[in-house]
Amino acid sequence: MKKIEAIIKPFKLDDVRESLSDIGITGMTVTEVKGFGRQKGHTELYRGAEYAIDFMPKVKLEIVVSDDLVDNCVEAIIETAQTGKIGDGKIFISDIERVIRIRTGEENEEAI
């Protein structure tokens, strides 16, 4: 099993969710986050005053899938979230040792 963490632009969330649903992903955790990378923030004008936005708003998706779904899941995220502009985000993939569904006690693939 793998955990896929994807940091994407907030306006792409619904499209990515639909794309993942189409390939059989039935659950995910979504968190509103802020951060910066090469984009380095930007400046905005508010009531005549200019101020710096150092951390850009992003959305973090966390999805745990079986090993055979990882490539399809990553491909769906990239195709849907990519705008071709700086700040499209990143995808991190890590191993998951064990999953337990609290309600039933099911483990691993049965729990996801």
**pLDDT of amino acid 111:** 86
Give 57's strand partners. 34
> For domain 2-110, which CATH number applies: 3.20.20.80, 3.30.70.120, 3.40.50.450, 3.55.50.30?
3.30.70.120
Confidence band, pLDDT 50/70/90 cuts, at residue 36: confident
Query: Which helix H or strand E contains 23, and what residues bound it?
Result: none
Burial class (CB in 10 A: 0-12, 13-18, 19+), 8: buried
Q: Is the pLDDT of residue 51 over 70?
A: no
Q: pLDDT of 95-110, one tens digit each? A: 999 999 999 999 988 8
Query: How does the average pLDDT of the chain come out, rounded?
Result: 89
Contact status, residue 107 vs residue 100, Cβ threshold 8 Å: yes
Confidence band, pLDDT 50/70/90 cuts, at residue 9: very high
Burial class (CB in 10 A: 0-12, 13-18, 19+), 62: middle
Q: Inter-axis angle of helices 13-22 and 70-81, to 10 degrees?
A: 150
